[in-house]
Amino acid sequence: MARPQRNRRICGLPRHPRFGPEGDAVRLSLDEYEAIRLMDHEGLTHEQCAEVMQVSRTTVTEIYAAARRKLAQAIVEGRGLVIEGGSVVLCDHSQACGYGVCGDENVNTQS
């Protein structure tokens, strides 16, 4: 029996949750988006990203690998990309993450 999936902390919702053509889009979960944002955009290591997202380093590595596969699929196949869903809890910004990547400027509460 598999262990229940633990929620991953994310610092905010994406400002632009849809890219590319309408139709058959690749779906990127919010935790996959957060892993890409933290590591590729903010420059954090897997260990630092795991600490921010409050999961293990191996879990972050799995999330990141899945996200990269989906991004590649969207680019290579010319498909749209939709960012939504996943087992996440939105950061309330009451506790600093320590890496300067968490702040109110990242939060978009519009749906």
Domain boundaries along the sequence of the chain: 17-98
Note whether 35 and 67 are within 8 A (CB): yes
The pLDDT value recorded for residue 27 is: 94
* pLDDT tens profile 41-94: 999 999 999 999 999 999 999 999 999 999 999 999 889 999 998 888 887 765
The pLDDT value recorded for residue 46 is: 96
The pLDDT value recorded for residue 65 is: 98
The pLDDT value recorded for residue 7 is: 81
The strand pair at 81-83 and 18-19 is best described as antiparallel
Q: Of 44, 53, 50, 37, nearest to 105 (Cα)? A: 37
Residue 41 forms beta bridges with which residues? none
The pLDDT value recorded for residue 93 is: 65
From the options 2.60.120, 1.10.3470, 1.10.10, 1.10.4030, give the CATH code of 17-98: 1.10.10
This prediction's pTM: 0.76
Is residue 107's pLDDT more than 50?
no
The pLDDT value recorded for residue 80 is: 92
The CA distance from 100 to 97, in Å, is 7
The mean per-residue pLDDT over the stretch 7-28 comes to 80
Tokens 């939060």 found at? 107
